[in-house]
Amino acid sequence: MNTTPAPDTLTITRPDDWHLHVRDGAALQTVVPHTAAQFARAIIMPNLRPPVTTAAQASAYRERIRAAVPAGLSFEPLMTLYLTDLLAPQEIERARDAGVVAVKLYPAGATTNSDAGVTDLRKTYKTLEAMQRAGLLLLMHGEVTSADIDLFDREAVFIERHLIPLRRDFPELKMVLEHITTREAVQYVGSADAYLGATITAHHLLYNRNAIFSGGIRPHYYCLPVLKREAHRQALVNAATSGSSKYFLGTDSAPHPAHLKEHASGCAGCYTAHAAIEMYAEVFDHAGALDKLQGFASFHGADFYRLPRNRDTITLRRESWTPPSSFALGEAELKPLRAGEVLPWRLLS
Ligand code: DOR
Ligand code: ZN
């Protein structure tokens, strides 16, 4: 731990968000400005309805996102395709030529809009070979879906059953284990070679599973992979603040209408884009590791994706403020994480 007193302002290279959901249509007008105010680039998840499965769809989606960036801000959406059993290897070359940087694996049934996901990884091997050749990354929602596996064990079992064989079969395919939540994932990623990285969300760094049940069921803390025990949260904080270039910022900010989260069968996802870098700063400050925030938020992801690091900066100040209790999401309401609660760090605009 650092023994010098923590500073009250922090200027770092502008960060990127390596895992983000912005949805489509009216939702873009609310959520894209939040991300563009903080981040220079973001990896855009393709789990729309229907999913983004062609280069042409990714290009059209990129234009809709760009159109929602407020004047005066510069923000670059980095596009991905959604892997299905049927995604053709030929589409990978078209995707690369259209500037798509990665393909997302959702095991079928694992999470929001994953019904078109992969039912058997063997069916995707020709496409994964094309990705390895083309230099596209494989981003993974790393959870098994078998009903006989406990919900809290799904990430660890995914590593054993799927990730280890995949890395053996595709040793030069760059892979990102997204939104890691367990000690097992930290151990596996930490001991792997430079072809494997991992993103970590702010909510998995801030909360353990007690948050979902404190004083009643709290649907705004429900996401997938679900929050885990405190020992796992601590392992994530240690990984993120370690300075290791294998770990980088990915918010998995996932907007849902409040009435679909506060529901008998509530949607998974935490919305954090309105105050993401502030929440990460809080975690790093608490761990006495503010000096490690820039690497995690601004350098490691860009280096892993072999993209240039950003050149401009952002400044955060230690100053209490309270985010709004909700935002408009089209006709619906969007309740952000920390709605109406005090945040100790503030982004200066
Ligand atoms: O909590 C989550 N929400 N996890 C996911 O994997 C998907 C995301 C969403 O799209 O809402
Ligand atoms: Zn996600």
Domain ranges in the chain are: 9-347
In the block, residue with structure tokens 């985010």: 323
DSSP string for residues in 58-75? HHHHHHHHHHTSPTT---
Strand 9-13, strand 313-321: pairing: antiparallel
> For residue 6, what pLDDT is reported?
82
Say whether 153 is catalytic.
Answer: no
> Of 31, 48, 140, 223, which is best to mutate to test ligand 1, by the most ligand atoms within 8 angstroms of its C-beta?
223
What pLDDT does 174 receive? 98
Residue 173: predicted pLDDT: 98
pLDDT of residue 110: 83
The pLDDT score that the predictor gives to residue 113 is: 87
pLDDT at position 5 is 78
Structure-token pair, residue 17: 């968000």
Q: Which residues does 344 contact at the CB level (< 8 Å), separation at least 6?
A: 282, 285, 318, 319, 320
Sign (positive/negative) of CA torsion 270, 271, 276, 282?
negative
**HSE toward the beta carbon, residue 260, CA cutoff 13 A:** 14
Cβ–Cβ under 8 Å, residues 128 and 162: no
The CATH number for 9-347, chosen from 3.40.50.2000, 3.20.20.140, 2.40.50.140, 3.10.20.30, is 3.20.20.140
pLDDT (0 to 100) of residue 88: 98
DSSP line for 130-175: HHHHHT-EEEE------TTS-GGGHHHHHIIIIIHHHHHH-TTS-E
DSSP annotation of 296 reads I
Low-confidence ranges of the chain (pLDDT < 50): none
pLDDT at residue number 272: 98
Q: Tell me if 101 sits within 8 A of 79, measured CB to CB.
A: yes
Ligand nearest to the CA of 141: 1
What is the pLDDT at residue 339? 96
Catalytic residue among 16, 17, 252, 285: 252
Partner residues linked to 103 by β-bridges = 81, 138
pLDDT for the residue numbered 324: 96
Closest ligand, as measured to the CA of 178 = 2
**pLDDT value for 349:** 77
Q: Let me know: does 2 contact 291? Beta carbons within 8 Å.
A: yes
Q: Are strands 9-13 and 247-249 parallel, antiparallel or unpaired?
A: unpaired
Supply the angle between the helices 230-240 and 183-191 in degrees, to the nearest 10: 30
